Amino acid sequence: MKINDILVPVDFSPNSMKAAEFALSLVDPEGEVCLLHVIDSDFIERVSEEGFSEAEQAIERLRESAEKRLGEIVSSRESDRPEIDIMVVVGKPFAEILRVANDLFFEMIVLSTRGRRQSSIEDVLFGSTADKVLRAARIPVICIPPTG
């Protein structure tokens, strides 16, 4: 089976970086891996409501930081094959992952089951981002479990 393009949502946690490495090992050398970081719109709203920052300023700072970190990941690689693209979007993480996968016709999604945010009551009641993506995706999804 030849896989030409894989979407990998990353939150910069060690486990999401492990998912990125796994995706790179799966994709065809002439293929592409897209590292997607989603700025959580609910988080931005809560920060703004608490008076810490204006939403637009917070989004711009988070976008710049994410693009810088993603760029560092790409530039730290020893090979330019397979190609790595980066993308930063704002929204609900599970919805944006599904939207990008569908809109850009990715063949597969590889994501970690636990990232920065550890289990919360919301995860218990409604499922984690990985759970929601796995249930709604129309393409194969590989979930990478936490290490240790």
CA 79 → CA 2, 24, 29, 30, 75, distances in Å?
Answer: 20, 11, 10, 12, 9
Q: In this predicted structure, what is the pLDDT of residue 124?
A: 46
Q: In this predicted structure, what is the pLDDT of residue 44?
A: 84
N-to-C CA span, the chain = 30
Architecture of 5-144 per CATH?
Answer: 3-Layer(aba) Sandwich (3.40)
Enumerate residue ranges in the chain where pLDDT < 50.
123-126
Query: pTM for the full model?
Result: 0.88
Q: In this predicted structure, what is the pLDDT of residue 45?
A: 83
Q: In this predicted structure, what is the pLDDT of residue 126?
A: 46
Q: In this predicted structure, what is the pLDDT of residue 116?
A: 52
Q: How many whole angstroms separate alpha carbon 77 and alpha carbon 131?
A: 30
Q: Tokens at residue 50, please?
A: 């608490």
Domain ranges of the chain: 5-144
- Kindly state the helix (H) or strand (E) to which residue 19 belongs, with its residue range: helix 14-26
Q: Tokens at residue 31, please?
A: 């293929």
